Structure 1
Amino acid sequence: MSDDEKTPAREIITDYAQSHFRYFRTADGTVYAQRNGHPVARPIRSQGTTGSHRQELMVGLFRDGVGVFNGTALKEALDLIEALALTEEVQAVHIRVAPGWDGATWLDLGRADGRSVRIHPTGWDIAVPDPREVCWRRTQLTGELPLPARDTDGKGIDLLLRLCNFATAQTECLAIAWLIGCLEPSVPVPAPFLTGPQGAGKSTGGRMLTRIIEGMSGDLRRAPKDEENLIAAVAAGWVTALDNLSHMTPDLSDAMCCIVTGAENVKRALFTDGDVFRARYRRPLLLTGIDVGVIRPDLAERLLPLRLERPRVRRTEAELWADYAEALPVVLGSLLDLTVKVRAVEVETPTDLRMADFAHLCAQLDAATGFGSLAAYRAALDDLNDDVIEGDLLAQTVLRHAADVEPGTAQRMTSTEWLHHFTRLYTGEECRPLPKGWPTTGKVLSDRLKRLQPTLAARGVLIDSGRTYEGRYIEISRSPAAPPHQQQTL
């Protein structure tokens, strides 16, 4: 055969690839390859250590006896495949948890055979999902989960609660509600903050909760020093667990708010001048620490405090984790049973809480089990409001002012006038010095009050602003019927 009659290597590779793999693109234009009949998808440009499509293609060509090809032929073939895939239909890829057809959701077990858990209000089962229904993306953070046990009769929940040192029954039901929320991709869940005295097993408890979703390879991490590294870690996994937090900077606090409720990060794509790379993320977040100092009001509405107590009997790490690994299939099976039961319940959504989806989930859990998790969630938020007020001298001063205001009446002044009023109220007759961070201008005061609005409203103090022909104003009033907690505080 003459050289002119030989089929070019790039055509051989392209024909083999298109017959053995399905290629598609995501909404951001990234092209993925998915082996026929298998739910795991890999970006064709990836050079990651978890296995790139280029490596997968080379191995397939060699094992099927097609041949071994040089890098130039592979590059030309992949360039053509990528261009062809840009005309294909758009499909999303998911890490660990994904929405499915007919109201179902899927949980990736991280197995090589692609078997996953399909969760539906009518039950759950283990199957390989249709590649057109679910496309899994895996990274180094995607650990393998054991096959969940069936017919557990709730024993797994009891095993988990015995292994964790939760201080109260209210804390236990909130932890269970959070785990159920982690299995629902469309529900933003507040970030559990495991607190307690030194030696209460906060890190161990955080690992246990994380590994129910992420497998035994899941672990806690130190908080990255910059937002870019935090977002990269969040985008590569499902549950992000940060350990031993002792200080919360404003930037880290804002980043955590975005992680919990969802945001998008856009930056310039590498080796380009005008193209951009988009990273959308909304992930379950878990934190541990004894105390993080002052908590900002917007983050407080997104936290879920879980208090632990020191165990009476200490166990070795090897013994503890051996028992946990043995119990994990039963724990996961019981959690799936409870999730199915909860999703089948119809309840009204509480409309007075910021995380309304999680509040609705708590109401479903209560209706299915009688736990009382919604009341526990409200009490936890109330405690967080106390933490915010105790760490903010301006909030304390506003409450002190409101204590002398008749319920149902309002006072209206400009922001500068309010600043002078609160400053005189704080300094008092002894003219004590103003603390660091006290508002210095009316604009700063106005911005601070906007942040404190939800916290103060929970204590019956309402803040409104507006504009008249004379200028802008801030109106502060006390609700006609102050909550009992506020009456005690004031």
Structure 2
Amino acid sequence: MSEDEKTPAREVITEYAQAHFRYFRTTEGTVYAQRIGHPVARPIRSQGTTGSHRQELMVDLFNDGVGVFNGTSLKEALDLIEALALSKDVQPTHIRVAPGFDGATWLDLGRDDGQSVRIHPNGWDVRVPDPREVCWRRTQLTGELPMPVRDTDSKGIDLLLRLTNFATAETESLALAWLVGCLGPSVPVPAPFLTGPQGAGKSTAGRMLVRIIEGMTGDLRRAPRDEENLITAVAAGWVTALDNLSHLAPDLSDLMCCIVTGAESIKRALFSDGDVVRSRYRRPLLLTGIDVGVIRPDLAERLLPLRLERPTVRRTEAELWAEFEEALPVILGSLLDLTVKVRAAEAETPTDLRMADFAHLCAQLDAAMSFQTLNAYRTSLDDLNDDVIEGDLMAQTVLKHAATLDPGAEQRMTSSEWLYSLSGLYSGDDCRPLPKGWPTTGKVLSDRLKRLQPTLAARGVLIDWGRTREGRYVEMTRRPVPSELEQPPLL
């Protein structure tokens, strides 16, 4: 055969690739390759040496006897495939947890054969999902989960709680609610903050909770030094766990709020002057530490404090983890059984809590298991409000001033007048100096009050803003305390 009659290598590769792989793009414009009949998808532009589409395509071409091709031919073929895929249907990719058809959700077991767990209010089963229903994206952080055990009769839940040192039954129910929430791709869940005295097993309990979802390779991490590194770690896995936190800087606190409820980051694409890369993320977050100091109000509404106590009997790490690894298939099976029961339960959605989806999940857990999870969640939020107030002198001063008002009374002043009044109240007759960080202008005070507004409202002090012909004002109202007959009953 003459050289002119030979089919160019790029055409051979393109024809083979389109016959064995399905190519599609995501809403961000990234093109993925998915082996026909298999749910795992890989970005075709990945330059990684392990598990990249370029690598699997080269191996398939060699094993099927098509040939061995140089890098130029592969690049030209993949460039053409990427261009053709831009006109294909748009489909999202998911890490670990994904929504499915008919109200079902999927849990990726991280297996090479693609077997995953389909969770439905009618039950759960293990199968290979339809590639057009679920596209799994895997990274180096995607560990393999064991095959879950069926019909455990809640034995796995008992094993898990026996291996951890949660202080109360209410704390245990909150931990279970968080685990159930992690299996829901559309439900934002607050970040558990495992706290307690030294030696309470906070890091161990955190690892156990993470490894139920991420497999035995899941682990805790130190808090990254900058926002970009944390976003990279969050985007590459499902549960992000930060260990031994002792201080939460304002930037890290704001970023954690975004991780819990969802946000998007944009950065310039590599080797490009005008193109950008979008990264959307909303992930379960877990924290451990003895004390993180002052907690900002917006983060407090997104935290779930779980207190642990020191165990009376110590065990070696080898014994503990050997027992956990052996029990993990039973624990996972019991968690799936519990998730099915919770999703099938009917309960009203509390309308007074910031994380309404998680509050509804707590109510469903109570309806399914006769727990007191929702009450425990409300109590934990009250405790966090106390922590915010104890760490904020401005909040303490506002509450001290509100205590002088009659119940139901309103007081209006400009922000500058409020600053003068609150500063004088704090200084007192002894004229003590104002603390570092105290507002210096009315505008700064107004912004500070906006951040404290939910915390103050939880203590019966309502802050509102308005305008008259004379100018803007800040209004403070002390909410009347309801009588015992008017107070809502505990759920």
Counterpart of 1:342, as a letter, is V
1:357 corresponds to 2:342: no
C-alpha deviation, 1:4, in angstroms:
0.7
Contact 1:460 1:483 in 2 (8 A): no
Counterpart of 2:415, as a letter, is S
1:160 aligns to what?
160
1:122 aligns to what?
122
* Alignment deviations for residues 238-266 of structure 1 (CA, whole Å, 9 cap, x no partner): 00000000000000000000000000001
1:402 aligns to what?
402
Q: Aligned ranges for residues 32-47 of structure 1 at < 5 Å?
A: 32-47=32-47
1:467 aligns to what?
467
- Structure 1 CA distance, aligned partners of 2:153 and 2:198? 35
Q: Aligned ranges for residues 47-446 of structure 1 at < 5 Å?
A: 47-446=47-446
Runs of 4+ off more than 2 Å:
none
Count of equivalent residues: 484
Contact 1:265 1:279 in 2 (8 A): yes
Contact 2:98 2:185 in 1 (8 A): yes
C-alpha deviation, 1:275, in angstroms:
1.0
- Structure 2 CA distance, aligned partners of 1:348 and 1:51? 45
Change (3 A) 1:188 1:24: same
Counterpart of 1:319, as a letter, is E
Q: Aligned ranges for residues 5-16 of structure 1 at < 5 Å?
A: 5-16=5-16
Q: Once superposed, what is the RMSD of the aligned Cα atoms?
A: 0.9
Contact 2:262 2:283 in 1 (8 A): yes
Unaligned segments of structure 2, at least 5 residues:
485-491
- Structure 1 CA distance, aligned partners of 2:207 and 2:64? 43
* Alignment deviations for residues 353-378 of structure 1 (CA, whole Å, 9 cap, x no partner): 00000000000000000111000000
Calculate the TM-score normalised by the size of structure 1.
0.98
C-alpha deviation, 1:483, in angstroms:
9.2
Calculate the TM-score normalised by the size of structure 2.
0.98
Change (3 A) 1:483 1:326: farther
2:488 aligns to what?
none
2:487 aligns to what?
none
1:488 aligns to what?
none
Q: Secondary structure at the match of 2:136?
A: coil
* Alignment deviations for residues 143-193 of structure 1 (CA, whole Å, 9 cap, x no partner): 000000001000000000000000001100000000000000000000000
Counterpart of 1:232, as a letter, is T
1:24 corresponds to 2:38: no
* Alignment deviations for residues 321-351 of structure 1 (CA, whole Å, 9 cap, x no partner): 0000000000000000000011011211100
Q: Secondary structure at the match of 2:436?
A: coil
- Structure 1 CA distance, aligned partners of 2:237 and 2:226? 18
- Structure 1 CA distance, aligned partners of 2:439 and 2:352? 30
* Alignment deviations for residues 204-250 of structure 1 (CA, whole Å, 9 cap, x no partner): 01000000000000000000010011000000000000000000000
* Alignment deviations for residues 423-445 of structure 1 (CA, whole Å, 9 cap, x no partner): 11001111111111111110110
- Structure 2 CA distance, aligned partners of 1:341 and 1:349? 17
C-alpha deviation, 1:48, in angstroms:
2.3
With 432-441 and 255-264 compared, the bigger mean Cα shift is at 432-441
- Structure 1 CA distance, aligned partners of 2:408 and 2:76? 74
Unaligned segments of structure 1, at least 5 residues:
485-490
C-alpha deviation, 1:111, in angstroms:
0.4
C-alpha deviation, 1:198, in angstroms:
0.5
- Structure 2 CA distance, aligned partners of 1:480 and 1:49? 66
- Structure 1 CA distance, aligned partners of 2:483 and 2:445? 25
C-alpha deviation, 1:408, in angstroms:
0.5
Counterpart of 1:469, as a letter, is R
Contact 1:260 1:302 in 2 (8 A): yes
Contact 2:49 2:55 in 1 (8 A): no
Counterpart of 2:23, as a letter, is Y
Counterpart of 1:449, as a letter, is L
C-alpha deviation, 1:481, in angstroms:
1.8
